[in-house]
């Protein structure tokens, strides 16, 4: 599904997280997306706040790996014969021809759309219609954002996104964290358009906080195609009433059976907490999901007749149907 000629145009025309922005510095970086290699670099050099560029990791001359090259004077320099490509992808120097010699017009990189958003690098191998999903709290100075860094999971991106839309596994997979002693019954899942980018549902849960108090949380969980899942949590009672938290889970298919995973948290509280402390609980939850998913072979069948679904699966089924239409339009 995610490799070679099997990748649909609908899948290509999407945004994917391929790196943590802080991991793209002075050197160009290789990433693999949908079974193909890309190079990501900062044409302005090592400034991490400089713009990002991306292209297939293949020099047009003899297909040298551009990601093994360097960035110098605003250009990406191929390590094989030293051709230099400017920020627009045009070759501006062929050393063997001598300075000032004309450059073949086909000596050009096919740049991919690239964005830096939420401390992450997003690229598209096609022509996306819109932008990466909007998290409104990112523009609100009351919220602090923390990014978790990138992991590689040995499972399909389809299984990961299905899992992130599903709360019925909490008492079982997450018995060591959020799921301890919780009610396994999942209430109504009424899927709606939550906002411009996310489709999901709202619900209210009573959980026991770290002090042993029962607190009521208003939550929503939703997806944005292809592989973003967002959970919003607002404490409605107890000492944390009014505290609000947004969790964005991002999945990227490296190939059919391995995927990148990262998450970003926004909070309007605990601004002084060290980032690692703030991330620790969500990291532990992610590790529990990973342990389960890496035991399940292959991709999730997109045809819903390939699985048995119940009421609590309503959101993940909705995602699977929408995602299936990207892969095979008209179905």
Residues contacting Fe ion: total by CB under 5 A: 1
Nearest to 67 by CA among 129, 18, 138, 140: 18
SS3 content of the chain, % helix, strand, coil (to 5): 20, 30, 50
Which residues between 121 and 140 bind ligand FES (CB under 6 A)?
none
Contact 11, 34 (CB under 8 A): yes
Q: How far is the CB of 223 from ligand FES (least distance, A)?
A: 40
Residue 83 near which of ligand FES, Fe ion, none (CB within 5-8 Å, type-dependent): ligand FES
Q: Tell me how many degrees the CA angle 11-13-19 measures, rounded to the nearest 5.
A: 85
Place of tokens 């001359």: 61
Question: In Å, how far from its chain's centre is CA 112?
Answer: 17
Q: Please choose, from the candidates 272, 312, 275, the residue with its C-alpha nearest in 3D space to the C-alpha of residue 162.
A: 312
We find the least distance from the C-beta atom of residue 160 to ligand FES, in angstroms, to be 36
CB of 97 or CB of 328, closer to ligand FES: 97
In the complex, minimum distance from the CB of residue 107 to ligand FES, in angstroms, rounded to a whole number: 9
| Sign of the four-CA dihedral 250, 252, 257, 258 | negative
Choose from Fe ion, ligand FES, none: what does 289 bind? Cβ within 5-8 Å by kind.
Answer: Fe ion
Which CB, 36 or 282, lies closer to Fe ion?
282
Q: Rank residues 76 and 189 by Cβ distance to ligand FES and give the closer one.
A: 76
Q: For residues 43 and 28, what is the distance between their CA atoms, to the nearest angstrom?
A: 9
In the complex with ligand FES, the residue whose CB is nearer, 64 or 125, is 64
Binds 244, which of Fe ion, ligand FES, none (CB < 5 to 8 A, cut-off by type)? none
Q: Near ligand FES by CB under 6 A, which window of 73-81, 178-186, 215-223, 284-292? A: 73-81
- CB count within 10 Å of CB 227 equals 25
CB of 44 to ligand FES, least distance (A): 22
**Subset of 75-104 contacting ligand FES (CB under 6 A):** 78, 80-81, 83
Contacting Fe ion (CB under 5 A), which of 122, 289, 317, 318? 289
Task: Work out whether 282 is an interface residue with Fe ion (CB under 5 A).
Answer: no
- Residue 162 binds: one of ligand FES, Fe ion, none (C-beta under 5 to 8 A by kind): none
Q: Which is nearer to ligand FES, 95 or 149 (CB)?
A: 95
Window 255 to 274, contacts with Fe ion (CB under 5 A):
none
CA atoms within 13 A on the CB side of 152: 11
Q: Measured between alpha carbons, how far apart are the two ends of the chain, in Å?
A: 15
For the record, the structure tokens of 84 come out as 């230099």
Could you tell me which residues come within 8 angstroms of residue 125 by beta carbon, excluding any fewer than 6 positions away? 7, 12, 16, 33, 34, 36, 38, 112
Give the closest residue to 229 by CA, choosing from 196, 191, 264.
264
Write the binding mask 49 to 68 for ligand FES: x where contact by CB under 6 A, - elsewhere: ----------x-xx-x----
- CB-wise, 37 or 61, nearer to ligand FES? 61
Helix, coil or strand: residue 308 = coil
DSSP symbol at 113: P
- Residue 108: CB minimum distance to Fe ion, A: 44
Nearer to ligand FES, 59 or 225 (CB): 59
Pick from 248, 250, 242: which is nearest to 270 by CA? 242
Footprint of ligand FES on 183-242 (CB under 6 A) = none
**Crossing angle of helices 314-327/157-164, nearest 10°?**
150
Nearer to Fe ion, 58 or 314 (CB): 314
Contact set with Fe ion (CB under 5 A): 289
List residues near ligand FES by CB under 6 A. 59, 61-62, 64, 78, 80-81, 83
């Amino acid at each position: 599904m995610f490799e070679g000629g099997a990748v649909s145009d609908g899948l290509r025309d999407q945004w994917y997280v391929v790196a943590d922005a802080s991991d793209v510095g002075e050197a160009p970086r290789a990433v693999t997306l949908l079974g193909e290699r890309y190079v990501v670099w900062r044409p302005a050099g090592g400034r991490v706040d400089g713009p990002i560029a991306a292209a297939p990791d293949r020099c047009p001359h003899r297909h040298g790996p551009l990601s093994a090259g360097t960035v110098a004077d605003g250009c990406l320099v191929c390590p094989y014969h030293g051709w230099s490509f400017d920020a627009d992808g045009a070759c501006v120097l062929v050393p063997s021809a001598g300075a000032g010699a004309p450059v073949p017009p086909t000596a050009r990189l096919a740049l991919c759309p690239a964005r830096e958003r939420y401390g992450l690098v997003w690229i598209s191998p096609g022509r996306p219609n819109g932008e990466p999903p909007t998290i409104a709290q990112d523009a609100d100075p009351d919220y602090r954002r923390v990014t978790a860094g990138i992991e590689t999971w040995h499972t399909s991106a389809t299984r990961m996104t299905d899992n992130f839309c599903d709360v019925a596994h909490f008492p079982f997979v997450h018995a060591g964290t959020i799921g301890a002693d919780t009610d396994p019954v999942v209430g109504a899942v009424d899927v709606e358009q939550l906002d411009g980018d996310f489709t999901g549902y709202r619900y209210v849960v009573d959980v026991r906080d770290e002090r042993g108090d029962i607190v009521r949380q208003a939550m929503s969980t939703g997806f944005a195609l292809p592989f973003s899942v967002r959970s919003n949590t607002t404490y409605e009672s107890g000492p944390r009433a009014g505290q609000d938290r947004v969790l964005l889970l991002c999945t990227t298919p490296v190939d059919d059976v391995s995927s990148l995973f990262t998450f970003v948290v926004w909070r309007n509280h605990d601004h002084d907490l060290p980032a690692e402390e703030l991330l620790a609980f969500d990291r532990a939850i992610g590790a529990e999901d990973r342990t389960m998913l890496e035991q399940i072979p292959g991709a999730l069948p997109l045809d819903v007749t390939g699985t048995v679904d119940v009421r609590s699966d309503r959101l993940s089924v909705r995602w699977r149907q929408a995602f299936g239409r990207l892969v095979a339009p008209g179905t």
